[in-house]
Amino acid sequence: MCSDLSKVNLPISKANGLPNSHYIDEQVFQKEKECLLYDNWSGVAFEHDVVNPGDALPLNLLGFPLLIVRDYTNQICVYQNVCRHRGMILVEEKKNIRGTIRCPYHSWSYNLDGSLRATPHIGGPGYNHHKDLNKKSLRLKKIRSYVYLGVIFVNISDSAEPFEKTNCSLMSRWSEFNKPLFSCKNYSSFQLELKCNWKLAVENFCESYHLPWVHPELNVVSKLEDHYNIESKDQFSGQGSYHYTQISDNGRVFVDFENLSESWKTGAEYIALYPNVLLGVHRDHIFSVILQPISKDFTLERVNIFYASSRSINKDYSKLREDNFLFWKSVLSEDIFVVEGMQKGRYGKFFDGGRFSPAMDGPTHNFHGWVANQYSA
Ligand code: FES
Ligand SMILES: [Fe+2]
């Protein structure tokens, strides 16, 4: 199937979007798995998925088995969830580990720092050592990870630049939000199922062009003309609004981040951090979205809301948190029919990737250019 990317990186007024094959073809999907998701910093879980020391969460990114662990020094570590002996999956279900990660097959056990601790009967019955096997050389394979805005990012292929280098411009743009975040069990997280390729959710999130028709209620408080495009080549793209209004419950509003600049009093920004994380920042809360690709045309969208102050997760704020949760859940749900509709549209074999509005679609064009560059590299 055609994967001609020659028109994707043309100037926006002449460019076409990614060909259909990037949404519906299994071979292209498998290649994108490697070059977009494994070779870059992909979001896989939230920091609070492993709250307590010893918490271990197994998950996989399109088949690659990962184990996320919070160790006893409170650091998050990510390992390949595979025993160094015969390749058994080490942890099948989320649990709290007391002591060591023990393989259920022949009981090799690993410390939470990944080192191999015990190898029962490895030298024959009753002998737990063997001269030819050096335990120090049999650590769990560590996967590079980094936590940013509550999201655990991993670079599976170990080929990306350090996270802070890759994402330096976003981290500096949003340095005022790089502070402790607060989240609670109630009304903080939800998950949506999207019958579409994960990239369509990125593309839809990063543009504001669709607001008047897909989010008419949002458009009343923050109109199309209140928005601006955000583009950073090969890193991220999105949109900002000059008109963020805090929700209120009888005059009560969420507590702000400390020491914010004046522009954030009414400003908000929504950015897709390539490949698969969507972020929104406001004076009093942020949200982070992890797009978890399941197949070429099915994606889980995990959303978590974080507050700027521990006060905002108190009981007194529960009504306000519920309202905020329902607001974002409804806004993000409004987008489902368009991302699923675009997926169906990719089976129209005469569709040429589409043309962009040079004024409105810059963020999407930026993302497509990144995909094309990664794919062709
Ligand atoms: S496969 Fe893990 S101990 Fe044998
Ligand atoms: Fe939307």
108 CB within 6 A, ligand 1: yes
Q: Kindly state whether residue 16 falls inside one of the protein's structural domains.
A: no
Q: What are phi and psi of 138, to 5 degrees?
A: -120, 50
Q: Hey, what are 116's tokens?
A: 């191999």
Residue 99: what are its φ and ψ, rounded to 5°? 95, -105
Query: What pLDDT, on the 0 to 100 scale, is given for residue 283?
Result: 97
Residue 147 has what pLDDT?
Answer: 98
Distance 333 CA to ligand 2 centre (A): 9
- 121 CB near ligand 1 (under 6 Å): no
The CATH number of the domain where 141 resides is what?
2.102.10.10
Q: What is the mean pLDDT of residues 127-150?
A: 97
**Total tally of structural domains belonging to the chain:** 2
Whether 96 and 212 share a structural domain: no
Q: Give residue 218's pLDDT band: very low, low, confident or very high (50, 70, 90).
A: confident
Q: Flag whether 352 is in a domain.
A: yes
Question: Per the omega criterion (within 30 degrees of 0), is the bond before 293 cis?
Answer: no
Residue with tokens 């259909």: 20
Q: How confident is the model at residue 1 (pLDDT cuts 50, 70, 90)?
A: low
Residue 24 lies in a domain: no
Q: What are phi and psi of 103, to 5 degrees?
A: -70, 130
Record the pTM.
Answer: 0.97
Q: Is 313 in the pocket of ligand 1 (CB under 6 A)?
A: no
Question: Per-residue pLDDT for 203 more than 90?
Answer: yes
Evaluate: CB of 105 within 6 angstroms of ligand 1.
yes
- Residue whose CA is at the smallest distance from ligand 1 atom 1: 86
Residue 320, domain member (yes or no): yes
Ligand index nearest the alpha carbon of residue 81: 1
**Containing domain of residue 350, as a range?**
174-376
pLDDT interval class at 216 (50, 70, 90): confident
Same domain, 184 and 143: no
Alpha carbon distance 238, 104 (integer Å): 45
Q: Are residues 280 and 191 in the same domain?
A: yes
Q: What is the C-alpha separation between 251 and 275, in angstroms, rounded?
A: 39
Would the pLDDT of 117 be above 90? yes
Lookup: tokens for 204 = 């839809």
When mean pLDDT is compared across 81-85, 106-110, 222-226, 309-313, the lowest value belongs to 222-226
- Residue 292: CATH number of its domain: 3.90.380.10
Q: Is the pLDDT of residue 308 over 60?
A: yes
Across the range 273-280, mean pLDDT stands at 98
Write the single-letter amino acid at 77: C
Domain co-membership, 87 together with 228: no
Helix (H, G, I), strand (E, B) or coil at 64: strand
Alpha carbon distance 196, 340 (integer Å): 5
Nearest CA-CA partner of 149 in 262, 287, 338, 260: 287
Query: Is 117 within the bounds of a domain?
Result: yes
Best residue among 108, 117, 138 to mutate for probing ligand 1's pocket (most ligand atoms within 8 Å of CB) is 108
- Give the mean pLDDT of 264-287: 97
pLDDT at 224: 87
pLDDT of 219 higher than 90: no
pLDDT for 64 equals 98
232 lies in some domain: yes
Which neighbouring-strand residues pair with 146?
A: 153
Average pLDDT value for residue range 202-216 = 94
Mutate which of 84, 86, 90, 139 for ligand 1? The one with the most ligand atoms within 8 Å of its CB, which is 86
Check whether 2 has a pLDDT greater than 70: no
Chain segment 342-359, per-residue pLDDT in tens:
999 999 999 999 999 999
Helix intervals (H) in the chain: 21-24, 26-32, 163-166, 168-173, 198-205, 211-214, 216-221, 318-334, 336-345, 362-376
As a whole number, mean pLDDT of residues 207-219 equals 89
Q: What percent of the chain has pLDDT over 90?
A: 93
What is the average pLDDT score of the chain?
A: 96
Mutation to probe ligand 1, out of 67, 82, 84, 88 (largest number of atoms < 8 A from CB): 88
